[in-house]
Structure 1
Amino acid sequence: MDDRNFLKEESAVLKQYPINPYFAEDFGKVKKVYTNTGTYALKKIHPHESTDFIRHIQHLYQKGYNRIVPVYPANDGRYAVLHNKSLYYLMPWMPNETREDQSQRHQQLFRELARMHTLSVKELEISAEVKQEHYEKTLKEWEKEEEFINGFLESCEDRVYMSPFELTFCLYYIQISQAIQFAKQKLESWNEKTKEQKKTRTVTLHGKVSPEHFLFDERGYGYFINFEKARQGSPIQDLLPFLARSLKTQPKYGDEIIDWIYVYLKYFPFREDEMQLFMSYLAFPSGIIRVAEMYHQRKSEVDERKFVQKLQRQYWLLSNTGYVVTKIDEMEKQKEQAKQEGAQS
């Protein structure tokens, strides 16, 4: 191995694997390692990060889900090697071929995520008390946020001269309020639909779904990497952060994103109550409220232009999300109506 092209630290780690490395390229936390038996990816993670994710990967393999880039064991059977206060694990290097357009790649990602959730789904007993507690806690938090934006609006309107931020907030207020009402209504609907329900569904979550963590091989098949945040939880927890990032753009119609969601739902259909909760969480405008709170709690002079830009970006997210949840709500109501008409005929 040529140490001019390879850090000694990684060289010591790779000695613990049955490979003969001779060259490496640096990609930050990941090193691309060339060897006599092929190309590998060596990833460095913080030692405080648990290696429980290996157990989740193995569990998914056992369930028959194999669209995961495997983690190789070291000579002594360990799946992560501790060296100089860092953990390392080794995988095959995925070429990440880009034959398809962006939308097709996203559709494949959502299809594979749905398959992963389907194969790992578990029904868990849940008490009425736990559900009611979750409902009341969420509603209380949202009502507190609503109280804040109403109070902030009043304080802005009481001024003789509003700041640029305050004026912009007042212009956005109606849509913020409507989003809160929609989210609360869907949360209420979820609560009603689950009153008699004694079980809830959990899945193995990837924990950090993104296009950077879904790579393609030379045949065009997609594989997930980076399972370090994997855990058991509601399938909604994998979807929401990804969708929020995808919708945080300049104003646009989110029809493409609606298509991705329905690709996912084709392979992992939500129950009616899950759909209500999903729409509720997706609709709630927490980002724009955070920005208003930061402005309200400011201790000194702030850069008005920067704060207005922050507010504007969150407003775009709010508008884009509003379009998506409204369309999904319409589509779900149409499906329900068609089902009822079919049953009557």
Structure 2
Amino acid sequence: MNDVIEELLNKAGLQHAPWTWVSERVVKIETRDGPYALKRWERTPQEREHFLHHLRYAERAGMKGIIPLTNTRGDMSMFETGRHYFYLEPWMEKQPLRSPPSEELRLLTILALNHKISEDEEGMTEEDLSTYKNEVQRGWQQEILLMNRLAAQFEQSRFISPFELTFLNGCPFYEMMFAEMKKGFQKWSRQVKEKEGYRFAFCHGRPSLEHGFIAADGNAWFTNWETSGPGHPAYDLAYFYQDLAQRYPFVPLEGKQLFGTYEAHGPAWGEADTGLLKALTLTPAPILMFAQAYATDPMRYAEHQWTAMLESKLSSLRYLQQMMLWKEKQEAAMHGS
């Protein structure tokens, strides 16, 4: 692979520049013009074209916080060698914050502004909506079947382990989350049916603190726009809130402040949007996938490590539940007034 990097540096006009691997898919390159990040593209050529198209759209639309690709030679934004594609962008270092607002609120503001800039609506027939609803419900049914299968397997253990006991005690909570997800999705789908259309915006796809940076001037940036494209803003928000909850499972983040920041800078938000956000946010799927990994390879970690990680995931989901409950109560109070 090192020979491949040298070949790419020649193509990019950066031959003889010192470089180092910083992860499995990212190389840091030192140049006289400053450092660059060379990132390996692990998707299909069609997805590559979508990625470049979305970045060109974002640039024309004046999107915020997008690290531009670097064109070192003409119009070359992507470099190809063997079975891999690579792209080049300026290297960004995370900077410590010396004043409020916090990192998560600055990044959330970027998402909100981009959603507002790009907000639009598209028609959806009742048939298309029905097809989408069936796809979503099939996915939930598969997850419920997995939950029941794991519960049955753990209950049959001669000596139930701490991990298995923690999972089994959580089953009523998982079932309640599936029911809440269904309620939220139904509220959103009713609005789509009434309006015969749905709203969408330009979404990052995987916004997280790991993919976010605060520059020395305090401005916020997101990297890794590879899965960007049109979607309901709730998809970005659900991913972002889940990431925050996983990183700070025992530190109560201010849900009121998060919702307030987004709504202050983003597009208009309604109860149906909250319904979709709830359907996307309160999924027990990460817990079920984790429990499946335990059932498949219980020796991968020590029992206490497995159990601690499961309890952390449960704590995160409970925090998200409280966030969404607060939001629904706020909307109900406003509606009543």
TM-score, normalization by structure 1: 0.79
> Amino acid of the residue matched to residue 204 of structure 2?
H
Q: 1:24 to 1:260 in 2, by over 3 A?
A: farther
Amino acid at match of 1:333: K
> 1:46-85 to 2 correspondence within 5 Å?
46=41, 48-49=43-44, 50-83=48-81
Q: CA–CA distance in 1 between the matches of 2:248 and 2:203?
A: 29
| Distance of 2:237 and 2:147 partners within structure 1 | 27
Q: Which runs of 5+ in 2 are unaligned?
A: none
Larger Rg: 1
Match of 1:209 in 2: 207
Post-superposition shift, 1:63? Answer: 1.2
CA contact (8 A) 1:47 1:85 kept: no
Q: 1:331 aligned to 2:327?
A: yes
Conserved 8 A contact 1:180-1:285: yes
The number of residues matched between the two structures is 326
**Conserved? CA contact 2:67–2:223, under 8 Å:** yes
1:124: how far off? 1.1
Structure 1 position 338, deviation (Å): 2.6
2:187 aligned partner: 189
**Which range moved further: 99-108 or 128-137?**
99-108
Q: CA deviation at 1:82?
A: 2.7
C-alpha separation between the residues in 2 aligned to 1:248 and 1:235?
Answer: 20
Which one-letter code corresponds to 1:31 in the other structure?
A: K
Residues 207 and 231, structure 1, Cα contact 8 Å, conserved in 2 = yes
C-alpha separation in 2, matches of 1:31 and 1:109? 24
1:4 matched residue in structure 2: none
Mean alpha-carbon deviation: is it higher for 62-71 or for 112-121? 62-71
| 8 Å Cα contact 1:206-1:230 kept in structure 2 | yes
Distance (Å, rounded) in 2 between the aligned partners of 1:152 and 1:323:
24
Give 1:116 shift.
1.2
Residue 34 of structure 1 corresponds to 31
Cα deviation, residue 104, structure 1: 0.9
Report the identity percentage.
21
Whole-angstrom distance in 2 between the partners of 1:188 and 1:271: 14
Return the offset for 1:282: 1.0
Alignment of 1:316 with 2:315, yes or no, is no
CA contact (8 A) 1:40 1:91 kept: no
Residue aligning to 1:24: 18
Question: Helix, strand or coil for the counterpart of 1:201?
Answer: strand
Distance change in 2, residues 1:330/1:24 (3 Å): same
* Cα distance between partner residues in 2 of 1:153 and 1:48: 36
* Alignment match, 2:299: 303
Q: Distance in 1 between matches of 2:192 and 2:258?
A: 27
Using the alignment, how far apart are the partners of 1:68 and 1:177 within structure 2?
A: 39
Counterpart CA distance in 2 for 1:324 and 1:182 is 12
Q: 1:100 to 1:129 in 2, by over 3 A?
A: farther
- Check conservation: 1:132, 1:191, Cα contact below 8 A: no
Shift of 1:12: 0.7
- For the 8 Å contact 1:44–1:88, the answer to whether it is kept is yes
Q: How big is the shift at 1:103? A: 6.7
Contact 2:104 2:209 in 1 (8 A): yes
Unaligned runs of 5+ residues in structure 1 are 1-6
Per the normalisation by structure 2, the TM-score is: 0.81
For residues 307 and 13 of structure 1, do their structure 2 counterparts lie closer, same or farther at Cα, with a shift above 3 Å needed?
A: farther
- For 2:279, the equivalent position in structure 1 comes to 280
**Residue 249 (structure 1) shift:** 5.0
Distance in 2 of aligned mates of 1:209 and 1:340: 34
- Report the Cα distance in structure 2 between the residues aligned to 1:311 and 1:81, rounded to whole angstroms: 44
Asked if 1 retains the 8 angstrom alpha-carbon contact of 2:39 and 2:88, the reply is no
Which stretch shifts more, 139-148 or 172-181?
A: 139-148
Secondary structure of 1:248's counterpart equals helix
Question: For each residue in 1:230-267, what CA deviation from the matched residue of structure 2 results, as whole angstroms up to 9, or x when unmatched?
Answer: 22222222233333233225742543355334322332
Greater alpha carbon shift after TM alignment, 244-253 vs 49-58: 244-253
Shift of 1:112: 0.5
Change (3 A) 1:287 1:44: closer
Q: Secondary structure of the residue that 1:321 maps to in structure 2? A: helix
Contact 1:70 1:91 in 2 (8 A): yes
